[in-house]
Structure 1
Amino acid sequence: MDSNLLQVRRGDRFAFGRNWKSFVGLVDEGRVQRAIDSLRATLGVEDLAGRTFLDVGCGSGLFSLAAHRLGARVHSFDVDAEAVESAVRLRHTFAPDASWTIERGSILDAGHLARLGTFDVVYAWGVLHHTGAMWRAFDAAVGLVTPGGLLFVSLYNDQGRQSRMWTAVKRRYNRSGPMTRGALIAGSAAYVYRAWPLVTVARLLQDQTRPAPVRARGMSRWHDMLDWVGGYPFEVSKPEQVLARARAHGLGLLLLKTCAGGLGCNEYLLRRPGGSPGAQEPMDPAGDLAHLGGTGDQPSQGHPG
């Protein structure tokens, strides 16, 4: 039995791929377009023509597809076999003739990474904090960026005591049966969406036959909630920790989007030094973080690498 599946069965890891497998059937052109728009805004580009793009922990493959639509040569990998299956299914449906390769692999497997080479854009949304070795995964991702290339990562925000509480919830979810899991999902949804009318929460939890609400990145709120409650292993970080790590690698900060100290992911767009002259100059990562924007108090979907 492969180690990922064994961890899932032991309750040491969430079945991320199973959640993606359920989500991928919801993907349509509207969700694809939202993912494309999100990727353009995140990277600050109009297209990715002529660039190579690595999707670390690709999950459903939605953002690999978005990068392909923007003109990139895409390589995707995920540690979960069901996630890889989902991405292959998405490619077959939306880009059957694409120069887009998909394989199984881990960001923590040095042998696998050595065979990949480097890429113009390395993209790791909500991945590294689910590996069980977040900082080692971050260092490994840096090594996959070509000189002058971009690294985009999103990492869960450290809320101190609340983050420790969520760690306990996630651990309990993965080691429990269906009834306890259902209770944890209901309680977590009531907390996270406490500003919503109760009827909205009831619809989220009880009526999965209706079309799932579409989020800005093309995600599904229901699948996001499952991922949030179950997403284990789970690590968190503060922006200053990530920026210090980036500086140690010589990376320049191009963009930081925080969740305003709340629940969710902080997003970092970083550039590796080198490359062609005239590349965009990085911002000063030692600047006043309090003046950088927030994304609000919502969980952001992640997947394992």
Structure 2
Amino acid sequence: MAIARTHQEEIQSGDRFSFGENWSRFLSVLDDERIEEAESSLRAMLEVDSLEGKTFLDVGSGSGLFSLAARRLGASVYSFDYDPKSVACTTELRRRYFKDDDQWVINEASVLDKAYLARLGQFDVVYSWGVLHHTGKMWDALTNVTPLVAEHGKLFIALYNDQGGASRRWLMLKKLYNEYPILRLPLALYTLVKQWWITIAKELMRGKFFVAWRTYNKQRGMSPWHDNVDWIGGYPFEVSKPEEILDFYRARGFTLARMKTCAGGLGCNEFVLHRNIPR
């Protein structure tokens, strides 16, 4: 029987990326504009103006930005993350913006821990953006979040798109990034150039200078460099096709409310799924 390892042991062995360390650096560039963009993205995808009176579960809260956005929109928020440093980031945002608030609870826990999840109850919105594909057991994680969604509730998830051979090559690079610290900066720079050079070249040809980079916070309020590190470092790493996710949740009593794909390319497909009333 395998002995369970701690989060830190997984990082030291190269089997897991320290998301929390990356997000702790992101907090230094977090400002009101980024927070407002995060709120806007939640309103748009959930098709609401407010979350007043709703309960919101943030599965894998990361930097804590979207827990903060949900709380500012009026929801009672419950956040948890497997990474202690991510928990610290989320706690820091609560301290900055909602000090001593009893409507925002934060825990350190894993979405693979069924006993823990069973104690949480159900929520109007269960949110997990770019998290479940990093657990090492994505399909188990997708199963585990299902009962957390209340009747008439919404499940908002984002998962890496399956690009076939390209995804397998990224998996290899991610493993190298985590196993060999000396390669981290070169791989991060390689990824940055690979993902941005066409966009920047097109802008320069039009007489523009890094417009997409400077306005990147319009995309969910995130930072291009920290997202870049999150991408190349993000390991474990699994992928899925949109139809696989839709079939998976249709069989579990959900219908699609909204979807945003990455058009078959690199990145995440986003799904908002509505839980139906049992017959």
| 1:100 maps onto 2:100 in alignment | no
For structure 2, list consecutive stretches of 5 or more residues without a partner in the other structure.
204-213
Runs (4 or more) in structure 1 with deviation over 4 Å come to: none
| 1:30 maps onto 2:17 in alignment | no
Of residues 179, 204, 210, the one that matches 1:175 is 179
Give 1:274 shift.
1.9
Query: What's 2:159 paired with?
Result: 155
Q: Which amino acid aligns with 2:150?
A: T
Query: What's 1:48 paired with?
Result: 51
For structure 1, list consecutive stretches of 5 or more residues without a partner in the other structure.
201-210, 276-305
Give 1:177 shift.
2.2
Q: Which amino acid aligns with 1:120?
A: D
Higher helix proportion: 2
In structure 2, the CA distance between the partners of 1:212 and 1:97, relative to structure 1 (3 Å rule), is farther
User: How far apart are the structure 2 equivalents of 1:62 and 1:221?
Assistant: 15
Query: What's 2:126 paired with?
Result: 122
User: How far apart are the structure 2 equivalents of 1:4 and 1:134?
Assistant: 17
User: How far apart are the structure 2 equivalents of 1:226 and 1:156?
Assistant: 15
Contact map agreement 1:156 1:265 (CA 8 A) in 2: yes
Report the secondary structure of 1:252's partner residue. Answer: strand
Contact map agreement 2:37 2:217 (CA 8 A) in 1: no
How does the TM-score come out when normalised to structure 1?
0.83
Query: What's 2:270 paired with?
Result: 267
Mean CA deviation greater in 127-136 or 27-36: 27-36
Of residues 244, 247, 259, the one that matches 1:244 is 247
Superimposed CA distance per residue, residues 178-235 of structure 1 (whole angstroms, 9 cap, x where no aligned partner) = 3x1111112111111121447x9xxxxxxxxxx9953421101010000000100000
Alignment of structure 1 residues 61-100 onto 2, 5 Å: 61-98=64-101, 99-100=103-104
Report the secondary structure of 1:77's partner residue. Answer: strand
Contact map agreement 1:212 1:221 (CA 8 A) in 2: no
Query: What's 1:207 paired with?
Result: none
Contact map agreement 2:87 2:106 (CA 8 A) in 1: yes
How does the TM-score come out when normalised to structure 2?
0.91
Superimposed CA distance per residue, residues 245-302 of structure 1 (whole angstroms, 9 cap, x where no aligned partner) = 0111010110111110000000110011129xxxxxxxxxxxxxxxxxxxxxxxxxxx
Report the number of matched residues.
265
